[in-house]
Amino acid sequence: MTFVDWVTESKQRIQQEGWSGAKRAAYEFYVGMWRNVGKRYNYGTPIWEDDWDICLVLDACRWDLIPEVNRDYLTDDSKYAVGSSSGEWIPKTFGERNNSDVAYVTANPYSENLLDEEDFFLLDEVWTYGFDEEIRTIPADVVTDQAIKAWNQEPDRLVVHYMQPHHPFVPKPMDEGLPRQDFDNQPWDNVWHKLRKGKVDRDEVWDGYVANLEYVLDHVETLLKNTSGDVLITADHGNLLGEWGMYSHPDWVPLPELKRVPWIKTSAENVGDYEPVDYSSQSEERVDRSDQLEALGYK
């Protein structure tokens, strides 16, 4: 967003929302200043600098979320991601390398405008057919099954991009009691907006965040038992919960609290007792990408 765009949108917002709109405009100006810093000063470790056969990307997983869950293979190791948002991480990760050896199975809708299927051994955009309108996100079991199918095609490397623990929090949806059938008729006020406005408690948000990590790890374990090789578990970015006065994961914001992510090495061993479902062949209707981005808090 240019300064002129910010001025125009801020003027409209203040006219429509008054003091609330003014606070929102000031917040966006503050985030914009950090973005200017991030575009000049950037850092992070590409996933390709480590040795692995399978890389599992837990979207928006803070490094300090990991000690909150109990899994034998998890450690507290961490590094800094190359981006502070998915829209930044994806092109920085895949944009300047030959990906013909990579199968990328992704639930993240940003892949549509940033990647070309022809550049990959396999590009499975699960979000195009796997979106669940009831939970307003892409279920982790769908991603797991598609990833196992991709692994069976024997790429040199497999990258699996889960949507969790990124909100919406599947086990603990924070919708303030709004009936799910009413979602399509009302503005979607995501959990980070609510936290910034004081509508929800930080501890409540943290508990939902942890529960969403537990949820996705249950399906990660299915993947680890039905593939084989060296595994890296990491994230494309974290989330801000008020650090430096910011929330969520704005792009190009170089704060360590936002870019520090898990960097966990483990292994997968195929026990051969699971038959994945081919969800791509069951798809009946593609959910609009714009609606998905809104549900995920990107709009």
Residues 6+ apart with CB under 8 A from 121: 99, 100, 101, 102, 103, 153, 155, 156
Whether residue 294 has pLDDT greater than 70: no
Q: What would the CATH number be for the domain defined by 45-295?
A: 3.40.720
CA atoms of 24 and 284, how far apart (whole Å): 39
Tell me which H or E stretch contains 204: helix 202-224
For β-strands 122-125 and 102-106, DSSP reports them as: parallel
Per-range mean pLDDT, top range of 24-33, 45-54, 273-282 = 45-54
165 upstream amide cis, omega within 30 of 0: yes
Map out the domains of the chain as residue ranges: 1-41, 45-295
35 — alpha (psi -120 to 50), left (phi > 0) or beta? alpha
Q: What pTM did the predictor assign? A: 0.85
Query: Residues 192, 197, 201, 203: is their CA dihedral positive or negative?
Result: positive
Residue 10 to residues 135, 187, 188: CA-CA distances in angstroms? 32, 19, 20
**Residue 183 pLDDT class (50, 70, 90 cuts):** very low
Mention every residue, 6+ apart, whose C-beta is less than 8 A from residue 60.
165, 166, 167, 235, 236, 237, 238, 239, 249
Query: What pLDDT is attached to residue 234?
Result: 98
pLDDT, tens digit, for every residue of 117-161? 999 999 999 999 999 989 999 999 999 999 999 999 999 999 999
Percentage of residues of the chain with pLDDT beyond 90: 63
Residue with token string 């125009």: 8
